[in-house]
Structure formats: structure tokens, C-alpha cells
Structure 1
Amino acid sequence: MAKRLPLIFLLWIGTDLYFYQAIQTLISSSALLWSYWLIDLLVIAGIAAVIFGRRSSQQTLIAWLMGLMLLAFIPRLFSLPVLLVEDITRLFRGFPPRAIGVSELTLGTAGVLFLVVLFGITRGRHFYRVRRETIYFPDLPEAFDGFTITQITDVHSGSFTNAAGVQKGLDLVNAQHSDVILFTGDLVNNQASEMARWIPAFAALKAPMGKFSVLGNHDYGDYIQWETPEAKRANLARLKQVHGEIGFRLLLDEAITLEKGGQSITLLGVENWGKGGFHQYGDLNKAAAGVPDDAFKVLMSHDPSHWEGVTLEHHQRVHLTLSGHTHGMQFGIDLFGFKWSPIKYVYKQWAGLYQNKGQFLYVNRGFGFIGLKGRIGMWPEVAVITLKKGTAGK
């Protein structure tokens, strides 16, 4: 990421300079023209403060810098095609002065996008959406026809500050009245203590057939410096206790059986396993050991890269895998069945439902947030998955 920073900075400044041409076409006041660069100056000052400032205040400052950069960059970037189309036509017309109407359209487009970004970084973090999927399986046990799963993931409790906002999401989870609640990792950003304030709220989640969880990459404390290895191990041990205190059965490379009407399905949970430099703690072989080959299996695995990396080629068929991890990058377009986010260029499976060889993967966009203290277009998610016996469309 550090190697890409100069390129990102050049793209950001270059976009601002190009967009500035529309500003100059419409505004002659030098004071207003200077104010255009105010956000850029604030971000540059913030970067200097990060470099030379105190470490204890850097996380908050970095979050503010990300918000300011997005407010400056996104509206300008996505309105530039209007100017670009005009420049293509100007190329064949001897580059006459810019049309006022085109510049007005550019600024209007940027203004709308500015409001969207502003909503995302102020209210988007708790703008929870329920997403529903019904998945059909010919070999689903009859007693589980219509069985419902509510999945949440990537809580990142260390980022929460608004108790009312968090409670809004938790109330939405309980309102689904699903048979089970499954949590697929990243309860904290780094430290188990981040959950202390939120234990009573999460303990109030209810499901008649239980609540189950796995660990995500952030839960191991791998991203901060610990005084001793023992302190890091103690933190993880405490986090495992927290899962119990909020009423979740933490699955660590193991399987349990859910029984209903004299029939059963198997719920598997693996520790975090990811590609791209992430630790590969999880062991699906260990989790599935002793599970009958013909058992109907639902797997909780935090990182979706585990699905293609391990699960699809496993000797035992896993009917449904539930993952998270990507957050949909907390930025993108997700409307009317169309979805896009820059994260798609990193993860092949990054949000929603995927199918391969009769096996399904659902990637949840995440309940919480980290880094950017907001969500822009990629809203926090409560997923409700209904298992149905049969074939889709029949």
C-alpha cells in the first residue's frame, strides 16, 4: 500500500486540477477559487500531523483524513466524464472556451455525489440493510425445509462510538426471528477489551436453535505491537471468553450437529484462512473429521478466498459457505441488482451469492466498519438466508 501512495496522491491532485477548469469557467472570485483548494490543504496538513504527531491521536486523524479525501476526490472523479466528453468534441473544434452549460452540469453532478459521500461518512455506518436469499438444495433434510439463518460479520467493535446506532442494527437482527444466528468473524479490531462496552447488547441477540461464531483475521491481534507474546495470547484467550459471554458458541476448526424433527444438518466453523498474505490458521480437514460424507453441511469461514482455495476442492461437499471480510470495501454501487466496488479487483467473490459445482458461497458486506468511519453506497448488512428443499424455480 505504501508503494501506491505516490500514485494515489498524483491521481487525487490531477483530478482536482482537471475539475478546477469547470470551477474557473463559472467563478471569477479569487476568494472562492482559493476556497476550492481548502480541503486539499487540510488533508496535506493532516498528513504532516500524522508524520510528526503523537501516535495516540493518529487513528482518529487518519479517519478524518480519509473522509476529507473522499469528499474531495469521489465527486470530482465521477463527474469528470462530463468534462472529458466536452474535451473530445473541443479537440475537433479548435479548443474553444468551455461551455458554461457543460461546466454547470459537471458541478451539479459533483454536488449530488458530494451529498452521497457526506451521507455515507456521517450516517452510512449505521444505515443497515436486510438482504435476503433463498437457496435450494435437492438433498436438504425435509425437516429443514424453510430453515432460516441470520448472518452478521465484521462487527469491528473497536470502531463503534454510537450506542443507539449499533442497537438499531442489533434490533434488526432480532427482528428477523431466524432459527440460528451465525457470526463469521472480526468481532474486534485488535483487542478483546474493545467489546467490553457492547457485551450486554450483543448478548441480547436471540435465536431458538442457537448462536454460533468463528474468528476473523483481526481477532488474533496480529496488527498491533504487543509488549510480550504472552500478552497477545492472553488477549486471544479473553476474546474467546467474550464470545461465550455474548452467548455465541465459538467454533474452532470443529463441527456441531443441529437437529430438527428427527433429522440433522452439520454446522462447521474454521479459524481464519485467507490468501494474499493473510494467516491460514483454519483447517477444514480437522473441522470435518468424523462428519459423514452425506451430511448436509453449512460452513462458517471468515475469508471468502477460502472457498476457492480449499472448500470447493475438499473431498467432502460443503453445501453452503458463509463469509465476510471484504466489507464491500465500504465503498461502491449496490443498486437494483448491480454491484461494483474496487474490492472486486482484489477478491473474485466479494459480496452476495456465488455458486460453483452445486456449492454456494454467500459473502456478507459486514455489520461494522474499520479505517473509514462510514460506508458509501455499500451499506452495513444483516443477511437472512432461507434453506429450501428442491430445485430453484420448481
Structure 2
Amino acid sequence: MNSLGPIIFLCVFFFISLLLHWYVFQGFKALLSDWESIKLKTYAYYLYWIIATGIITAIIYAFSRIIIEGEIRPQIQYFLNVFLTVTTTQVVFILFMLGEDMYRGVMASVNYFSGESAPYLPSRRKFITQLGLAIAAVPFTGFIYGILRGKYNFKVHREVVYFPDLPNDFDGFTIVQISDIHAGSFRDYQEVQRGIDLAKNQQADMFVFTGDLVNHKAEEIEPMLNQFKEINAPYGQYSILGNHDYGDYVSWPTEAAKAANFAKVKKQHALMGYKLLLDEHVTIKKGDSEIKLLGVENWGVGFKSKGDLSKALKGVDDKDFKILLSHDPSHWDQEVKSHTSKIHLTLSGHTHGMQFGIELPGIKWSPAQYRYPNWAGLANSMGRYLYVNRGFGFHAFSGRVGIWPEITVLELRKERG
């Protein structure tokens, strides 16, 4: 981004925010329309704009710090929480008001051409504004819950995946997956322990972690190293890197400092007891059977594409049963599912489900779907499966609304003819 880019961004943001607050203010005036005291009304109007100005100023400050520092510090997350909560609530309220304004516009046209003595533009109805406010309170309440509790509302998602060529001894083999810890965002380590205990209690055969251990710096995971070290499985613990683990989103004094941080991030995996797979594979043996577990460095559309699947496959027979750990699900869409060597199951994360959405029986929606065709759960392309974990932690927005933090349990089953 050139030197004018941040200034242009902040100016555009300022005017859009001002426009949103102005539109909401029209509804606010309708709510106070029955007040008889002009003085009290004036004070209320002043109070509204004082609060609005404070919110706009705080968010511009937060974005400025992000642009200058190149990272989202925990203190800045609070401002982002306010921004997302207020903006989402405003948009819902404005969309409701917009419906009435369209009706008012139609009635104004009818009045004008019919020669009615009534005002061309009817006044806003207080009841409609109150109803819009009540509806807007739903996302507002949801965001408050998501910030205070939702980000620790760990859920176990279970999937049974069938393969006709699964080696016999691996029929019923279970894998626990977590992804996107984003250690620098956590402050309540007791709540983190709840998630870790949930993963441990699944008593899976193998454990995998699919990237983004930290937000930016290796030191972020240090307060929780011993906690995550508690996760053990009979057939091992394996991990890969995510796009945040390379330290690309923060300013470093020197390239040597960045390289030292990256080396430390990789070392942290070993300290937790995880075997970090860097474009390589390992053989998992059970009884007389074996499967190949592959892990690549980050490969993603629009992000660092460093992973080398061909390198990870070196020495692997095409007939081998293969599971791939690849952080970004776009890798599966772009390369894995059509690769000449069949990868039976790919485990990814990265999307977080945007930490916001709706998942109810028959309904699955998140803004993530406009960026990623497969953003959460299981996908299948001609017998090649992808599972996208919704993430253990959170980043930028310090909360989760509707898309809860996930511990995945995958059971491999031999498909019977």
C-alpha cells in the first residue's frame, strides 16, 4: 500500500461511518418525536453525536495503529469489537428503516401526482422505528454474547468418513483435529484449558493441529505451552504451519529478527510434543497396515503459497492411503482434489468460518462462503474428502457469533460393498 493508501482508506471509512450514524440518527429522532421538551430533545441529540463521534474516533485510531504497527494488538481488538458490534447493529437497523423509506417515497409520489393536500413525504412512524430497533437488538445481543462467552463456547464436531480402500486395520481409526489457536488473542487460560480438556477427552488414536499457532510472534504461545502439551494420542501428535506463523504481518527491525522468530515458532511445536511436518510425510502403522500422513507448509490463494505437495509425496506410492494436513482449504480446491496422486482426506482450517454466521438444521451461512467454496465441515469430490475445521481460537474480532470454536473428531471407516 502506498503512502496515500492508508489516508484514503481512513477518509473513506470516516465518511461511510458518518453516513451510517446520520441515517441511524433519523430513526433516533423519530423515537423522540413525542417528547414535548425541546430542551431535552436537544440534549439527547447532542449526546447521540458525542457518542457517535467517540466511536468513530476510537475506530479510526484503531485502524491507524494497525496500519502503523502492522499487527492487531490485544488492546486494539477491543476497538474492533466495538466497531463490528456497532456497525452490524446499524446496518440491520438501517435496512429496516430503508424499507419504510421506500414506502414513504412511493407515498410521496402518489401524493404529489394526486394533488393531495397531505405532505408529499409522510413522517416516519414511531412504531416502525421501534420495531426496527427491536430487530437490531438481536445481532447486538449476539455480538455481546460472542465477545464475552461465544469465543470459549467449544463444540465437538464428529464425522464418519467411509473409504473403500482404507486399510483393514484402520477401520474405526479416530483423529482429533484442532486448528488456528492464534495464541496471542487469548487472555483467559482457564477457558483455554476447557477446550484442551475437551480435545483430550475424545481419546482419539491420533491428534493433528492444522496451523496458525500464533498471531505474529513465537512468544505468544509460551503461557500455554504446557497446557497444549497435555494432548497426547497413541499414534502421535502432528502439526503444520499456517499463514500467520511466518511473521509476515508484523514489522520486524531486521530480517534476522524475523527469521529467529520463525525458527522459534517451529521449535514451539516440538516443545508441545507435536511433530511438525514441513513438506514431508510420515508412515502411521497399525497392525499389518499403514497409511501415509502428509503435511505441507502454507499454500493458499491470496496468501503465502510455500507448500510443496510434490515434495511431501516423494517416496509415497500412488496406491498408499493418504491423509494431508494443509492449512488453507483453497489448496484442496486448486491442487489437491485433482492431483494425479489420490489424496484420500485433507484436513484444513484457516477460515474460522469468519467467526460469524448461522448454523442451524437446514441453514448454514457465513460471510466466509463468499471467499471460500468450502469454509467449514466436510466436502467431497469423487471420493477425495476435505474437512475444514472452524478454528480453536480467534483473531482480529475477539469473539464468535454463531460459528463456535471447534474440536473435530474424524472416524475412518472401511466402506462395505
Query: After TM superposition, is the score higher than 0.5?
Result: yes
Distance 1:52 1:124, change over 3 A: closer
AA matched with 1:168: R
AA matched with 1:68: V
Equivalent residues in 2 for 1:130-149, closer than 5 Å: 130-149=156-175
Of the structure 1 ranges 46-55 and 362-371, higher mean CA displacement relative to structure 2 is found in 46-55
Cα distance in 2, alignment partners of residues 374 and 333 from structure 1: 15
Cα distance in 2, alignment partners of residues 366 and 316 from structure 1: 28
Distance 1:8 1:45, change over 3 A: closer
Cα distance in 2, alignment partners of residues 55 and 212 from structure 1: 33
Partner of 2:368: 343
Partner of 1:14: 19
Larger radius of gyration: 2
Of the structure 1 ranges 247-256 and 229-238, higher mean CA displacement relative to structure 2 is found in 229-238
AA matched with 1:45: T
Classify the secondary structure of the residue corresponding to 2:129: helix
Distance 1:121 1:33, change over 3 A: farther
Displacement after TM superposition at 1:191 (Å): 1.6
Displacement after TM superposition at 1:5 (Å): 5.5
Displacement after TM superposition at 1:292 (Å): 1.2
Q: In 1, are the aligned partners of 2:70 and 2:251 still within 8 Å (CA)? A: no
Displacement after TM superposition at 1:289 (Å): 0.8
Cα distance in 2, alignment partners of residues 272 and 368 from structure 1: 18
Match of 2:292 among 266, 284, 298: 266
Partner of 1:184: 210
Classify the secondary structure of the residue corresponding to 2:374: coil
Displacement after TM superposition at 1:204 (Å): 0.6
Distance 1:365 1:13, change over 3 A: farther
Q: In 2, are the aligned partners of 1:22 and 1:106 still within 8 Å (CA)? A: no
Partner of 1:354: 379
Partner of 2:271: 245
Displacement after TM superposition at 1:4 (Å): 5.7
Q: CA RMSD in A?
A: 2.4
Unaligned runs of 5+ in 2: 36-40, 109-120
Cα distance in 1, alignment partners of residues 411 and 320 from structure 2: 18
Q: In 1, are the aligned partners of 2:294 and 2:312 still within 8 Å (CA)? A: yes
Displacement after TM superposition at 1:83 (Å): 2.2
Q: In 2, are the aligned partners of 1:46 and 1:61 still within 8 Å (CA)? A: no
AA matched with 2:352: H
Classify the secondary structure of the residue corresponding to 2:294: strand
Cα distance in 1, alignment partners of residues 20 and 243 from structure 2: 35
Displacement after TM superposition at 1:169 (Å): 0.9
Displacement after TM superposition at 1:389 (Å): 1.6
Question: TM-score normalized by structure 1?
Answer: 0.91
Classify the secondary structure of the residue corresponding to 2:378: strand
Displacement after TM superposition at 1:8 (Å): 4.9
Classify the secondary structure of the residue corresponding to 2:73: helix
Equivalent residues in 2 for 1:46-195, closer than 5 Å: 46-47=58-59, 49-50=61-62, 51=64, 59-94=73-108, 95-195=121-221
Deviations 1:161-191 (A, max 9, x none): 1111111111111121111111000111122
- Equivalent pairs, count: 391
Of the structure 1 ranges 370-379 and 301-310, higher mean CA displacement relative to structure 2 is found in 370-379
Cα distance in 1, alignment partners of residues 73 and 260 from structure 2: 24
Displacement after TM superposition at 1:130 (Å): 1.4
AA matched with 2:84: L
Cα distance in 1, alignment partners of residues 70 and 315 from structure 2: 48
Displacement after TM superposition at 1:302 (Å): 0.6
Cα distance in 2, alignment partners of residues 6 and 343 from structure 1: 27
Cα distance in 1, alignment partners of residues 224 and 165 from structure 2: 39
AA matched with 1:306: H
Distance 1:310 1:67, change over 3 A: same
Cα distance in 1, alignment partners of residues 285 and 46 from structure 2: 68
AA matched with 1:85: G
Distance 1:38 1:359, change over 3 A: farther
Classify the secondary structure of the residue corresponding to 1:93: helix
Cα distance in 2, alignment partners of residues 390 and 52 from structure 1: 54
Partner of 2:399: 374
Displacement after TM superposition at 1:91 (Å): 3.0
Q: Name the % identity.
A: 45
Cα distance in 1, alignment partners of residues 169 and 13 from structure 2: 54
Say whether residues 1:306 and 2:318 are aligned partners.
Answer: no
Of the structure 1 ranges 180-189 and 253-262, higher mean CA displacement relative to structure 2 is found in 253-262
Match of 2:56 among 44, 47, 63: 44
Partner of 1:322: 347
Cα distance in 2, alignment partners of residues 226 and 24 from structure 1: 49
Distance 1:337 1:385, change over 3 A: farther
Unaligned runs of 5+ in 1: none
Partner of 2:117: none
Q: In 2, are the aligned partners of 1:40 and 1:72 still within 8 Å (CA)? A: no
Displacement after TM superposition at 1:38 (Å): 4.7
